[in-house]
Structures are given as C-alpha cells and as structure tokens.
Amino acid sequence: MTRNMPSINMENIHHSMKSSFLSCFNFFLISLLLTHPSTSANPVIETEQARFIGTVLDLPVDEQGLARSVHAYLGIPYAEPPVGDLRFRQPVAKIWSNAAGEPINATSLGNRCPQVYNPYFPVLGNYDEDCLNLDVYVPVPVPDKAAVMFWIHGGAFVVGTGSMEILPLSPLAVFGDVIVVAANYRLGALGFLSTGDDEVPGNLGLYDQRQALKWVQDNIQAFGGDPSRVTIFGTSAGGASVSCHVLSPLSSGLFSRAIMQSGVASSPFFTGTDRSHIAKRASNLGKLVGCVNDTSKRLVECLRNVHVEDLVNASAMIHETWVLSNGPSINIPWSPVNDGHFLSKDPTTMLKEGLVNNKVDLMAGQHSHEAMLPIMAFLKDPSEPYINATIFETILTISKTNQAIAQPIIRQAMNLVYIDDITKEQNYLNTFIQIHGDHVYVCPTDAFLRASENADSNMYLYHLTHHPSASIFNTPWSGACHADELVFIFGAHFHPESPFNLTEEEAKMSMQMMKFWSNFAKTGNPNKESEAEEEISSDLRWPKFTSSNPSYKNMSLLMNNGRALKAKECRFWNNYLPTFKSFFDDSAIHGPNKMNGKDEL
C-alpha cells in the first residue's frame, strides 16, 4: 500500500533556515500548475516493450513568441519494484506482460522513492518502494534524431526526485529542442547501504541510474531520440553520480557526454573507503530497527523484512546524527562506495591512475558561494550574517575540512592563502565560504578535468557568480548558492505562474544557459547547435578548458570569460596539501626525522 512517509525532527540542523524554506514552500503549491495538461488529444508512443499514453503540457511561448508544447510520458517503470527479496539487490529490468495489449497510462508522475520530508527540497506526491520510474519530455515538433539530456537529481543521496514540481523540465525541452529524461533512484540506506562485503557491496542507487540509462538506449528512438547522443547531467549528489558513471566501466557506452554541476566523484562526498566503517554503519542501522545479527547475510535477511517506513526513519536518523556531529560538511553517510565493481577503487585513486572514460565530452562547474547552504544553520541572525573568529574556529574544528588541515603547519599555510590579517576581528563568513567551497567543489572539479584530459574529447568549465533575484533559498545575501543554477538551466522563469520571476536581464541569462547546455548535448560544444555551423565568434564564445589553458565561462549577466580559476587555492588543496599529508603519514611510520628510510637534511 502506498503511504506518505513521516518526517523526523530536523530542527537541530535547520533551525535558522526553516522559516525561509517554509515560505518558499507556499510557492510549491502554486507551481503544481506549471505543467498542467492541455485539452489536446493524448499522444501515444509504441516501443518494443509496450505502448504508452502520454499527456500534452502547454508552454506559453518560446523565444520567438510562438506557443509551444511538450509531449510528456510520465511514471514509466524501468525496473521491477525493488521490494521483498529484491530489496538491497541490483535493479531488474521491467518485463511487460501486455506488450501487445492495451496502452499503458503514462499521464501522471509515478511514486517518489521513500525519504523523509525535508523543508530544503519538499517532494510532493506518494512515496513507495515501487519508485523506479522515469519521465520523458519530448518537444513538439521533435527534431530529427533529437539529442537526449538525462537528468540525475541531487539531494545528498537521501532526498529528491527526478521530476520536481517547482522546477519543471519542460522549458528546457522546448527552448533547447532536446528530449529530457528524468529518473528516480533509490535513496538513503535503500539505495546506498553497504555491508562492506559481497552480501551488499553498495551503490544500488548508481545501478538504478545505470538501468534507466539502459532503458533510454533501448527505447528512446521510439520517442524521436538519438541513443548515440545521450548527455547525463546532474547537480550536487547528481553531479557526483554523473562523474561516477564517467569513471565506471559498467556505464561505458550508455552516454556520450556528461555535465557535472556542483559535485564530482573526487569531492569529499565519500565515506566508503574504510570497509570496517561501512560494515559498522550497516550494523548500526540494523540495531535501530531490531536486526541484531552476527553475519552480513543474516543482517540483510532481517532488513528485508523491516517495514519501509521504519527503515527510512532509521536511515534518516543515522544521517541526521552524522550531520550534527560533523558540522557543515558535504561528507555524508549514505553515498557511493568503492565496491570493487561499479567503482573499482576510490575515485581519487581512479583519477590518479587514469581510469577515466576518455571518449566522453565533459562540462563541469560550480558557484561562488556553494558553502552558504551548510553554513546557514550557524548564523544566529540570518538577516545579518556574521561569523566571528570564535565561531569560525568552532566550525572548522567540527567540520570535515578540519581533518584535511589538522597539522599546524598546514593550517598556517591555509591561513596564508585565505586570511589577510589573522590579528584583526573581522567577519569570517566569506572566508569559510571560500575555504569550504574550494575544498569541496572548485578544486576537486579542477583536478577531475585535468585528470580526464584527452585529445579526443572536449572539456568546458563554468563558475556561476550571479545570485538570482528569485533564489531557491529565498535569501537576499546568500550569493550564488548551491543549486542556484537550476533556476536558470531549467528556464523556470518562462512560466507565468512560476515563483521564480527573474529580471529581464536574468531571463536572457537563463535563455543563454539553456542554449549552452543543450548545444553541448547536441554537439559536445556549447558554442554551436549543429556540427555544420560555425562556433560563436562574439564575446559569448565559451573557450575549452585544457591543462595548459584552463579557461572558464563566468555564468553572470556579462557572460565574460576567465582563466586559471582559483589557481593559488587549488595548488594548495590539490598539490601542497597531499604532499604534506604524505610527509606526515610517512613520518608516523619512519619517525619525525626520517623520510622514506633516509635521514632528513
């Protein structure tokens, strides 16, 4: 039976943000009208598996002022329900028993994967384990052999859904002239439990995404799409997921291009490198739901019989405890692990060893104030954000960033990079924002692109610096915060009932970003829509990123270009810090005056 999942008390984490998000939630109810079905005849698509009845979503106008619409096929199952014995197993492709029978209704969104309610990103609709479904948005008319953009949602691997009412995907399909596909995947412990052994190796949520990509390869031609031009893109946990597919040989051939927004696999997202910690987390989950067993096999057998609501609440409790004990950290308990199958090693090692699918074109980027989201809970007065030296030190102490700068000499080096005058009382808000943002987003992205460089693929880097006047987080001072790019690339402004009413200049910026993203999906080059046309020659041209010429596009009203983004800071995080950590690790083995068995000079 489908049930709405209860929420846990998140007040300790979100107390300073809650009112802002709840006010934003009022807009969600309005936004249900954003993609309402029209009275036009329902379209029907016939695949080799089954026939699907879709719905028509009307959009007011396109950029030429012409009325446009989208044929949407919603809630299509791509895998069998992962329930009973299939819980904690890899997805099984959906088998249709009535392929030659009556068409299947695909006119409404399917179940959302079980999760607790979160005021950051409220997900409406029914929650049920039978949630492995996807949505297909086809522009009308559909271009010949249309490029396909496959969206992987974010949400820290614990919340979210493929199609979200507040940010409908139909404008991108229309203005980009691309087919957009969005899939649900299992979240929290249901999607990312690992026992640290072969019983449940982990990464089930990534396998779900892969199964949905296989569905696209098998079926998208029936919708007018080109299976050889599939671009995967996602933000935050979705961006990290995208880069996991870039690294994994199991996903090779399922897409040709990838866009990683605010997250890559080498970001400190992962807690899955220590198998003893992974196994302990699984054991702790079992204890919370009454599954105390001496082997992984017995533990998982017990967990398969636990009611889904109890399992999700226990999963959320472990996540909440982790966040409270680790402060403003993006490092999260339910996340991808190096299982030896999907990811043969931890992502940083895979990058160092060149284990990257070099035939994939890449676009990646992040925002100037990414870390404003986790820091908000530490602001006593959100209307006047201020962090003094004491609070700054406290945050660093409990933050995962502190593990990277634990040695005093490394901390002194970091102070030289980020703090102008450590003797002066000042507002350390932006200092922490930059430290955390560079450590978690900017510099891992830089390292990922450099490690992926290949003459046969294109790479493009962006840095969003413009804070939208209608932000997801509804704060006037947060800067270009985490997830703010979604307002632009999904064209939310172009619905008259949308809560995101941008200025005229911002609307042009949104249109340009949709064009950059869709052009990249079509050609691997954001500067041209087809292989036959020439690149943009104006100041809008987005230069390639290479190690020798690390150019980037500043996503702002001016759309100007830059070079060597955060070069000094990334030398600290990507070069200086690993060298010193290696030295201290070696010193712990050989003694403080020894290095590699030789006397220090």
* DSSP secondary structure string for all residues of 456-468: TS-EEEEEE-PPP
Map residue 491 onto helix, strand or coil: coil
Instruction: Indicate the number of domains in the chain.
Output: 2
Structure tokens at 394: 């406290």
- Of the residues 194, 236, 329, 457, only one is catalytic, namely 236
Nearest 5 degrees, angle CA 586-CA 590-CA 593? Answer: 95
Give the bridge partners for 466, in sequence order: none
Q: CA–CA separation, 245 vs 188, rounded Å? A: 19
Under the banding of pLDDT at 50, 70 and 90, the label for residue 24 is very low
Residue 258 lies in a domain: yes
pLDDT, tens only, 563-574: 999 999 999 999
Residue 467 lies in a domain: yes
For the segment 86-113, the average pLDDT, to the nearest whole number, is 89
Question: Is 370 considered catalytic here?
Answer: yes
- Of the residues 319, 436, 467, 482, only one is catalytic, namely 482
Residues 317 and 400 in one domain: no
pLDDT, tens only, 373-421: 777 766 766 677 888 888 888 888 777 677 778 778 888 888 899 988 7
Burial of 35 (0-12, 13-18, 19+ CB in 10 A): buried
What CATH number did the domain enclosing 34 receive?
Answer: 3.40.50.1820
pLDDT, tens only, 104-113: 999 999 999 9
- Of the residues 370, 485, 506, 569, only one is catalytic, namely 370
pLDDT, tens only, 505-553: 999 999 999 999 999 999 999 999 999 888 887 889 999 999 999 999 9
Residues 394 and 360 in one domain: no
Residues 304 and 398 in one domain: no
582 lies in which domain range? 388-426+566-599
Q: How do 68-77 and 55-59 pair as beta strands?
A: antiparallel
Structure tokens at 215: 């569905």
Burial of 349 (0-12, 13-18, 19+ CB in 10 A): middle
Residue 307 burial (CB count, 10 A):
10
Residues 119 and 227 in one domain: yes
Question: Is 482 considered catalytic here?
Answer: yes
Residues 246 and 275 in one domain: yes
Residues 492 and 579 in one domain: no
Structure tokens at 335: 């996340």
Residues 277 and 179 in one domain: yes
Q: CA–CA separation, 280 vs 66, rounded Å? A: 58
